[in-house]
Structure 1
Amino acid sequence: MKLKMENFGERGFMCFDSGRAREDESRYGNDNLENVLGDDRETPGNGSSKRKKQNRHTPFQIQELENSFKENPHPDEKARQLVGRRLGLEERQVKFWFQNRRTQMKFQVEHYEHTILKQENEKLRIENIAMKDVIRNPICPKCGGLALLGKKHMEHHHLILENARLRDELNQLGVLENNFMSWPLPSLANPMPPIMGYSGLDLALGRNSFGSLNSIDPELPTGLDFGNWVTSVDVPFNKSMFQDLALAAMDELIKLAQLDSPLWFRNLDGSQTLNLKEYASTISPCLGMKPDHFVTEATKATGTVIINSVALAETLMNTNQWMEMFPYIIGRASTVDVISAGTGGNRNGALQLMHAEFQVLSPLVPVRQVKFIRFCKQNAKDIWAVVDVSVDAIQEGSRAHVDCRRLPSGCVIQDLPNGYSKVTWVEHTEYDANVVHQLYQPLLNSGLGFGAQKWVASLQRQCNYLAAITSSTIHSGDHAVTNPAARRSIGQLAQRMTRSFCNSVCATVHKWELVQSGNADNTKLMMRESIGNRGEPLGTVLSAVTTVWLPISCHYLFDFLRNEQTRGHWDVLSQDGCVQQMLHIPKSQDLVNSISVLRNSAAASANQISMLILQETCMDVSGSLVVHAAVNSEAMNLVMSRGDPSCVALLPSGFAIFPDCSPVSDGHINYNRGSDEGNSGSLLTIGFQILVNSSPAAKLTTESIDTVNSLIARTLQGIKVGLQCN
């Protein structure tokens, strides 16, 4: 009996290679399975031949052969000779033992597959009998008696049966795939890397104005600690239902990304807003009707980014890299379950269940908590798409009340010849507007709070930063940090500082306890216990956040807060004199997006420069940030010497600025892109983090609360005086 040898595919699926079997047969002739058990050579005796007694392998030999099989199920002749010498067997015996072992595994898999198919067939047969019985004896739902079915009803029932049959076939294929994926196979030489392992962003970048870059330096960590936030599934879920929803959501995303007018209204700033009437008549929503008390927020935006489609798709499907790419929008996120890891060694077909918190940097806008599935698909050679859709509405047993649900949203990514990619982003959300303060409702309605414009702008800014931090051609001006390693370390420290500020404003990641909220000036006080982890001081941390409206344009307010000459108006650490810039790291060609190290001029003249100020500023179409923290000079020197930035303790404070998007005289929304037209103003959020006690278990005193409230009031008053707006 001839044997066919099997091979293991790169994804763990078992396949059978007849070509390789023929090669072995041609080399070794017509050997049979009887040789597996021992040396069967004939010996002459009394004019006739007889076989020697079959020698069975010892338990030790069998165990060693099994171990060798796990390491390499297809050894070559040299490897078989080595195993034979070690175990006292001939190479011929080792060869046939391996052939027999592979054949045995093949039979086991086929038997298992046959059992599964038999069970599925029996299940379908029983369901078919039950459906036929229902059709033969229909019951009227009103009277409970027999019902007479017309031609239309019969056709409807036939369609139901056909749909059930197709769904069962799909489920059967899914069962078979899961069985193969979970089959205990021997270790491969090059196993696939873990899907959810943390790694820094490693983006494939194209040629850009910063020079020719093929990839971000693998030594460019971001140093962000997202915590061990693992969300469990509320109840067991139906994966096939998620697969159906993912396909429907992907189809809707592609339509929304490709179609323009009349499905979309074009805004003055270049973004687009969904025509809800046209949408209702053109597309059937995946999640059904909108709740009565919800409002719709649907926008589309397009932009060009310094990253290719494959790298961006990988980033979006990796939770940690996704949070790194959008540090100001995503509070925290986790992957609940990986339903499908993709095919072909990439993310094509990947489907995973996720949980995330989306934020606007203000205590007046509640964090949006959404549980959704994310599906990635390659639609063409150079076109990828990633779509999200909420599952709270379809997941049986989930909490009945949600404040937000995410309709098909995501992006379509198309590669460009220069290594860049064109990104078309769609954000479609329904939320409860009653939980949002009236100051921020125009901002959310405009799409600048959570809309597509903000996602595209954040993506462009972060890609530019990753390119600039490693570039040697970007113009950086005076006080520039030229050493690439120092730029990476300082950038890592600054990014951790800014994320800590965002988390303190929106009360994410850490366990915050509310101390004061809802007073007349919208100030919110929270406290938490810091146990002295790396990057944090030991003690009780108090966070104070407030939001105010100012009759000043966003651009003018941003320039005022980042200007070293006017810092003395609001910074209590700089009131003795203006500050000077020691170091400067640009994050893009636009120097307003930068990282700086500042020192107090008066302290410098007295040779007292033990404390420095680390500051990061950024601005895009949706708003701007100015974040700063006091850093010990010795710690900063350590960071610049390629020391570990995660050891530097930070308690950052800062400002978040958004346009108020107020209507102007012509009836349009003024998006306040730095102009002073009309009566538009800015929404300014001020946030402080203060260590009020060095003991984590210490109780907060009334004196500490009054001190923090006084600090907020003095800072706000200094800004108003400096801007001459009361």
Structure 2
Amino acid sequence: MDFGAGGDDFSGGDHRDSSDPHRRKKRYHRHTAHQIQRLEATFKECPHPDEKTRMQLSRELSLAPRQIKFWFQNRRTQMKAQYERADNSALRTENDKIRCENITIREALKNVICPSCGVPPVSEDPYFDEQKLRIENVQLKEELDRVSSIAAKYIGRPISQLPPLQPIHVSSLDLSMSSYGGHGMAGPSIDLDLDLLPGSSTGALSNLPFSTMSISDMDKSLMADIAGNAMDELIRLLQTNEPLWMKSADGREVLNLGSYERIFPRANTHLKNPNIRIEASRDSGVVIMNGLALVDLFMDTSKWMELFPTIVSRAITIEVISSGILGSQIGTLQLMYEELQVLSPLVPTRQIYFLRFCQQIEQGSWAIVDVSYDLPHQESQFASSCKAHRLPSGCLIQDMPNGYSKVTWVENWEIEDRAPIHRLYRDLIHSGLAFGAERWLSTLQRICERFACLMVTGNSTRDIGGVIPSPEGKRSMMKLAQRMVNNFCASINPSNGEQWTTLSGSNEFEVRAALHKSTDPGQPNAVVLGAATTIWLPISAQNIFNFFRDERTRPQWDVLSNQNPVQEVAHIANGAHPGNCISVLRALNTNQNMLILQESCIDKSGSLVVYGPVDLQSINVAMSGADPSCIALLPSGFTISPDGRQQDQLQAGESDHGASTSSSIGIGGSSAGSLVTIVFQILVSSPSAKMSQESVATVNNLISNTVRQIKAALNCTTS
């Protein structure tokens, strides 16, 4: 992008009152070729014209004096940036030349052979040779640090981390950083005050091979090179439309693999393997959060997990390879580990090591790229059912007025399935919906809406026991509900390595269970038994979501209500969709001191209904605005997603799912049915690490009865 000399005037031409709400947007003026030619000629003679010269140019070119002044300011800034980049390029070239000579000399010394005896010569004094090398290394390091401090401002990472034999390729889009590297980075940051589950980001490091791994300078140089190339590729994926991207049958943007292979041949060596399939999609939308706040959240591992609890089951920053510029995240390069999930025990997590690199593209625009990075011995650590490799993926974040951002998201995966995918999830995963860009973006939009609602000082219209929630009470209730949802998502694919055990199975569904230690604040030190199953229903995901969150139909399936009527006694909205809300429910004709806390949320990728029993006193504590972190929670609930099948697939595969199609199907006809995962968590009285026969029988009966009641209520017959 050409700032100043390209002829776009952002400065004025519109002298109306800026407070006028109809005139908030600035008017853009493109200079004519004659105007630019005349301005350039004057600039060559005098880069700093006085007021008299500016007034003369104003009359001659029919431009406002303010426009003339701003053009020269922009032109001087551009020239300064060009000189700085040229100086920086010369420094890098000289540095690379010295390093190559150093490597050549060292390699030559290794191969020196004595002509008389045929063996390498022995140094006269190894001690002094070593000391000499130490002094040389100190001198080289000091020189390199000096050059790095100069270059870091412009290229986003120190020269010492560039590849030793060739300079890293920097995209032309990086050039704007020299002009805007320090502009727009400072500003108010938003603390979302998100509650991270204990141990979720740093726990069990010893289970992973990087706990004792050291990263050499050569490795860091290689990582910087890979990240830079990945950023270049991501920018092209984000900014190029046809023929690189095309519309699928359901209207999604998917990658044209033929065009992709022609444009990026070096990145597609794996496409020749017939056992590898590609999942690549792109989506864009508006998010209620400013760009810098999003960048900070994405680069913080803990906040990253909090933004995407339904997708990211575990994330760890192994090492910060390069820190950001001037205390910001711009230019930060991190080596990370991540486990991505579908909310069902039937789908193994995707485990990857990857590099995350953040770059400012221009003022108010940032790109964050993720790309897989292979580490030694990772093959033996990962699950054998699926090998996942993330090609350059990530997002472009662009500031919009009023604190909004436009986010364009790209997901690009190479997947090698080493074991069959469970039949219920085969279509959803093969369609690319399970881990696609649409799921990431819709989740981000929903979570940011939730935070925006947290900032609104609106109260519930209902009170509990005479307690009317204040803004602090609303915030406390939302934090409590958020912790409940995070606990629920973490229980489906625990980060501490517990494996699901199949307790029973049939053509309709199979029940799986796992034991884990309770780590939730306020929870007694006990063993929790989690049990889950996934079923297919020939009904749209929207209709199933409405069924579960409707208190009038709750007695038909909820064991906590004991088939008694249920009344909603408090309601807090946390999104634009009416289904995104927090409710406090009371089952009538039962213990009035025991309530049900529930959060329901929905976006275009799926929905959740999560609930748990909470006593009246704890609810009143939260509603009063007190810290809810010590309130015990043991959530259960449902995850609902489209099945990924088109209607023309339904007839051929309905016997495969064991359910009839007598009920209504997907809204808009885009999906044949829905996948519903049912999850229960139960405290186990025995501290034993083994499941007793009594526990197995209890969860089997609980889930089996719940499935039958749901199908009966929805008129879904079984074969």
3-state DSSP of counterpart to 1:721: helix
- Per-residue Cα deviation, 1:361-411 (whole angstroms, up to 9, x for no partner): 11121111111010000010111000000002xx45543776111110100
Q: Which residue pairs with 1:437 in the alignment?
A: 422
- Per-residue Cα deviation, 1:312-363 (whole angstroms, up to 9, x for no partner): 1111110011111111110011100000111122111100000011000111
- Contact 1:536/1:648 (CA < 8 Å) preserved in 2? yes
Counterparts of 1:178 and 1:490, CA distance in 2? 52
1:582 aligns with one of 569, 594, 600: 569
Q: Which residue pairs with 1:646 in the alignment?
A: 629
- Contact 2:316/2:336 (CA < 8 Å) preserved in 1? yes
Counterparts of 2:558 and 2:444, CA distance in 1? 31
- Quote how far apart the aligned CAs of 1:664 are: 2.4
Counterparts of 1:557 and 1:674, CA distance in 2? 10
Counterparts of 1:293 and 1:118, CA distance in 2? 43
- Quote how far apart the aligned CAs of 1:565 are: 0.5
Give the counterpart letter for 1:414 in structure 2. Answer: Q
1:456 aligns with one of 437, 441, 446: 441
1:709-724 counterparts in 2 under 5 A?
709-724=700-715
Q: Which residue pairs with 2:261 in the alignment?
A: 280
Counterparts of 1:377 and 1:117, CA distance in 2? 23
Is residue 224 of structure 1 aligned with residue 197 of structure 2? yes
Q: Which residue pairs with 1:300 in the alignment?
A: 282
- Contact 1:511/1:528 (CA < 8 Å) preserved in 2? no
- Contact 2:286/2:407 (CA < 8 Å) preserved in 1? yes
3-state DSSP of counterpart to 1:468: helix
1:473-484 counterparts in 2 under 5 A?
483-484=470-471
3-state DSSP of counterpart to 2:667: coil
- Contact 1:539/1:691 (CA < 8 Å) preserved in 2? yes
| Greater Rg by CA | 1
- Quote how far apart the aligned CAs of 1:220 are: 4.0
Counterparts of 2:608 and 2:652, CA distance in 1? 22
Counterparts of 2:253 and 2:652, CA distance in 1? 13
- Per-residue Cα deviation, 1:53-107 (whole angstroms, up to 9, x for no partner): xxxxxxxxxxxxxxxxxxxxxxxxxxxxxxxxxxxxxxxxxxxxxxxxxxxxxxx
Counterparts of 2:233 and 2:433, CA distance in 1? 23
- Contact 1:216/1:467 (CA < 8 Å) preserved in 2? no
1:471 aligns with one of 436, 456, 467: 456
Give the counterpart letter for 1:274 in structure 2. Answer: L
1:359 aligns with one of 324, 337, 341: 341
3-state DSSP of counterpart to 2:526: strand
The TM-score, its normalising length taken from structure 2, stands at: 0.68
Shift in CA distance, 221/313, structure 1 to aligned 2, threshold 3 Å? closer
Counterparts of 1:505 and 1:336, CA distance in 2? 24
3-state DSSP of counterpart to 1:564: coil
3-state DSSP of counterpart to 2:403: coil
- Quote how far apart the aligned CAs of 1:517 are: 5.2
Give the counterpart letter for 2:290 in structure 1. Answer: N
- Per-residue Cα deviation, 1:619-657 (whole angstroms, up to 9, x for no partner): 111111111101111111122223332211111110111
Counterparts of 2:668 and 2:554, CA distance in 1? 22
1:540 aligns with one of 527, 534, 549: 527
Q: Structure 2: where are the runs of 5+ without partners?
A: 1-94, 113-139, 151-186, 654-663
Counterparts of 1:178 and 1:330, CA distance in 2? 39
- Per-residue Cα deviation, 1:233-288 (whole angstroms, up to 9, x for no partner): 25645111100100110001000001111111124655300011110011234474
Shift in CA distance, 411/602, structure 1 to aligned 2, threshold 3 Å? same
Q: Which residue pairs with 2:487 in the alignment?
A: 500
1:418 aligns with one of 402, 405, 411: 402
Is residue 610 of structure 1 aligned with residue 593 of structure 2? yes
Shift in CA distance, 345/514, structure 1 to aligned 2, threshold 3 Å? closer
- Per-residue Cα deviation, 1:406-453 (whole angstroms, up to 9, x for no partner): 110100111112321111100001123444213212212333211000
- Contact 1:442/1:661 (CA < 8 Å) preserved in 2? yes
Counterparts of 1:317 and 1:132, CA distance in 2? 45
- Contact 2:487/2:520 (CA < 8 Å) preserved in 1? no
Is residue 490 of structure 1 aligned with residue 477 of structure 2? yes
- Quote how far apart the aligned CAs of 1:224 are: 3.3
1:159-308 counterparts in 2 under 5 A?
176=145, 218=191, 220-222=193-195, 224-227=197-200, 228-229=202-203, 230=205, 231=208, 233=210, 234=213, 236=215, 238-267=219-248, 270-286=251-267, 288-290=269-271, 291-308=273-290
- Quote how far apart the aligned CAs of 1:292 are: 4.0
Q: Which residue pairs with 2:640 in the alignment?
A: 657
Shift in CA distance, 175/707, structure 1 to aligned 2, threshold 3 Å? farther
Counterparts of 2:433 and 2:281, CA distance in 1? 10
Is residue 570 of structure 1 aligned with residue 539 of structure 2? no
- Contact 1:516/1:525 (CA < 8 Å) preserved in 2? yes
Shift in CA distance, 514/309, structure 1 to aligned 2, threshold 3 Å? closer
Q: Structure 1: where are the runs of 5+ without partners?
A: 1-115, 134-170, 182-213
Counterparts of 1:720 and 1:359, CA distance in 2? 26
Q: Which residue pairs with 2:357 in the alignment?
A: 375
Root-mean-square deviation over aligned CA pairs:
3.5
Give the counterpart letter for 2:545 in structure 1. Answer: F
Is residue 399 of structure 1 aligned with residue 383 of structure 2? no
- Contact 2:196/2:302 (CA < 8 Å) preserved in 1? no
- Quote how far apart the aligned CAs of 1:512 are: 2.5
- Per-residue Cα deviation, 1:478-534 (whole angstroms, up to 9, x for no partner): 66975211111111111111111112222x224525443573254343333436652
Aligned residue pairs, count: 533
Q: Which residue pairs with 2:682 in the alignment?
A: 690
The TM-score, its normalising length taken from structure 1, stands at: 0.68
3-state DSSP of counterpart to 1:572: coil
3-state DSSP of counterpart to 1:454: helix
Is residue 631 of structure 1 aligned with residue 614 of structure 2? yes
Counterparts of 1:396 and 1:531, CA distance in 2? 33
Q: Which residue pairs with 2:330 in the alignment?
A: 348
Give the counterpart letter for 1:403 in structure 2. Answer: K
Give the counterpart letter for 2:673 in structure 1. Answer: G
Shift in CA distance, 594/268, structure 1 to aligned 2, threshold 3 Å? farther
Is residue 675 of structure 1 aligned with residue 675 of structure 2? no
Counterparts of 2:699 and 2:296, CA distance in 1? 43
Give the counterpart letter for 2:198 in structure 1. Answer: D
Is residue 703 of structure 1 aligned with residue 667 of structure 2? no
Q: Which residue pairs with 1:51 in the alignment?
A: none
